[in-house]
Chain A
Amino acid sequence: MARKAEFSFNGLSVMAELKKVDRKKVYGWSTIEVFDQNGSKCKLAGLAEGQYVMPSGSTALVSLNSKGAAVSKDTLVGVDSDGKKVEKVPSIYDEKVMLREASVDEYLSMAVKSVYQLQIDENKEALLKDLDSGKIYYFVFNYRADYEGDDAFLISNGTDVFAITGMSTDLEFIGLEDNEQELVSEETEAVEDDMDFAMF
């Protein structure tokens, strides 16, 4: 049986199964197949040091300590920007998810990663009514417990409830003085320095 998450809002609870809405399941998809001159199917691979052909899966990422010894990823802990240890954010399946109201601007500030459709058994109408009136609910999304949860919003398209997950962006309010400036290359400066009007 599929796992269900429990969402709590306005004193009500809904149990929902989250199904990922993959774009290709809605619109279809395209793939590019590559063939050599003999019609043999080709794949992308890496070429290291100009001689070693490395098909997909030929490399791995390792974590090393200051002495260069490999460190198991299981032994690592998460810290914030101040270097303080952070607790793991529980999975949405491990405990009740508390929803809070959010604004359209807050939702639109998020860089979207994934879309999930909620399959709700009970209280769907109550939640739909809330969302159809323009309400948006925010919660922290983690499929499994991890050091950092994604931002997530519950919205409705009128018939179905969706959880849109991603990460809120740092929007910048820009004033007149905050304009983007190209770095002046040293070469240009040197040319200007060489201009000696006394030479005329």
Chain B
Amino acid sequence: MIRYIKLANDKKRDAEITFRSLNPKPSVTMVMESGDKVINKRVVKGTSQTSTQILLAQYNETPKEGVDFQLQLAGRLAGDLIASDPELDLELTGKFIEDVSRVYINEDQNPVFSVKKTEKIFSPSAELKEEREPKYNESNITGESIVNWTGKLMPKAKIYNKLVFHKKYQLKHINGLTYDFLFDMAKQLADKDAMMMMGAGASGKEPLVMNDGGKPYRAFLEGRIKGDKYCLILHLTDQELKPLPTE
């Protein structure tokens, strides 16, 4: 699927162009000693009905004096696991599965259809700082939104060791006009050997959200040139290059 981003240049002229994630795939494949390929399949190990929690709940035991009740139940289950394999559902265990939907289940392992969500914010030392309704970030890179040059130009030699660029996207033109548009952008940045901080939202300086429901990231645009070819990379970051806090 082609993904689009609406990008403005230094003159605030905008155009819709495409981008792709730079997500390298492993170059090594695992095969059998003979060189024959293997097929990887997902199989069922168990279900909620064979989970430890449900199996433990089936025992109608009375606590023994001087014995931890959880340990008492666990001991009984351990014996049954050896003797009668209650954790195996012979109809299902080992069955190949492909399509699995995602559902929320409650503590009784039953699906629930109406949920309430709470977001908890923790400090680096694991202290609860805030509880709030989760924020839903809408994508702000296309449609009504435009990704702008903020004017903050950072030399590559100075920024590479300040921020950690976890995600990268390569931008690509869709026609002759947008080729000129992107080539010019890449050339400006390559000539200055610098990266431009990009911003979105109403102020044009807010972090970028690449997908609906996604995380906000600060973005920097890098340009490279080879003859009449260009390479424009959008680097995303949510982390400064900082050491671990001292304990």
Binding site for B on A (CB under 8 A): 19, 21, 23-38, 40-50, 52-55, 57-66, 71, 73, 75-81, 83, 86, 104-105, 107-109, 111-112, 115, 117, 134, 136, 147-148, 155-160, 162, 164, 167-176, 178-182
* Minimum CB–CB distance for B159 against chain A, Å: 9
A53 touches B244 (CB 8 A): no
A148 touches B119 (CB 8 A): no
B167 touches A172 (CB 8 A): no
B67 within 8 A of A: no
A171 touches B119 (CB 8 A): no
Kindly list chain A residues whose C-beta atoms are within 8 Å of the C-beta of B241.
115, 155, 157, 162
Among B31, B32, B114, B122, point to the contact of A30 (Cβ < 8 A). Answer: B122
Kindly list chain B residues whose C-beta atoms are within 8 Å of the C-beta of A66.
36-37
A45 touches B48 (CB 8 A): yes
Which of B71-79, B168-176, B204-212 faces chain A?
A: B168-176
Binding site for A on B (CB under 8 A): 2, 18, 22-24, 26-33, 35-49, 51, 92, 97, 99-112, 114-124, 129, 134, 156-157, 160-162, 164-168, 170, 172-176, 178-179, 182, 222, 224, 226, 228-231, 233, 235, 238-245
Known: A47-B111, A148-B28. A53 touches B173 (CB 8 A): no
Contact count A vs B, C-beta below 8 Å:
287
Question: Chain A CB within 10 Å — which of B37, B106, B115 has the most?
Answer: B106
Q: Please give 18 more A-B residue pairs, beta carbons under 8 A apart, in addition to A104-B156, A108-B233, A158-B161.
A: A19-B244, A24-B124, A25-B245, A28-B123, A32-B117, A35-B116, A42-B106, A44-B103, A46-B101, A47-B101, A49-B97, A62-B41, A65-B36, A79-B28, A81-B29, A147-B30, A168-B24, A175-B228
Kindly list chain A residues whose C-beta atoms are within 8 Å of the C-beta of B161.
155-158
Kindly list chain A residues whose C-beta atoms are within 8 Å of the C-beta of B172.
174, 178-180
A111 touches B102 (CB 8 A): no
A21 touches B243 (CB 8 A): yes
Known: A34-B116, A111-B23, A169-B22. A25 touches B244 (CB 8 A): yes
- Can you name 8 A-B pairs with beta carbons within 8 Å? A26-B124, A28-B121, A36-B104, A42-B105, A58-B45, A62-B41, A77-B33, A160-B243
* Minimum CB–CB distance for A167 against chain B, Å: 4
A111 touches B174 (CB 8 A): no
Among B43, B49, B176, point to the contact of A176 (Cβ < 8 A). Answer: B176
Identify the closest chain B residue to A115 (Cβ). B164
B32 touches A173 (CB 8 A): no
Among B2, B97, B179, B222, point to the contact of A48 (Cβ < 8 A). Answer: B97
Kindly list chain B residues whose C-beta atoms are within 8 Å of the C-beta of A77.
30-33
| Complex: A160 Cα to B38 Cα, angstroms | 44
Kindly list chain B residues whose C-beta atoms are within 8 Å of the C-beta of A61.
40-43
| Complex: A46 Cα to B175 Cα, angstroms | 43
Kindly list chain B residues whose C-beta atoms are within 8 Å of the C-beta of A71.
32, 38
B160 touches A155 (CB 8 A): yes
A180 touches B109 (CB 8 A): no
A31 touches B119 (CB 8 A): yes
A28 touches B124 (CB 8 A): yes
| Complex: A120 Cα to B102 Cα, angstroms | 46
| Complex: A86 Cα to B35 Cα, angstroms | 12
Identify the closest chain B residue to A57 (Cβ). B45
- 3 pairs of A and B residues whose beta carbons are closest in the complex: A173-B229, A169-B22, A46-B100
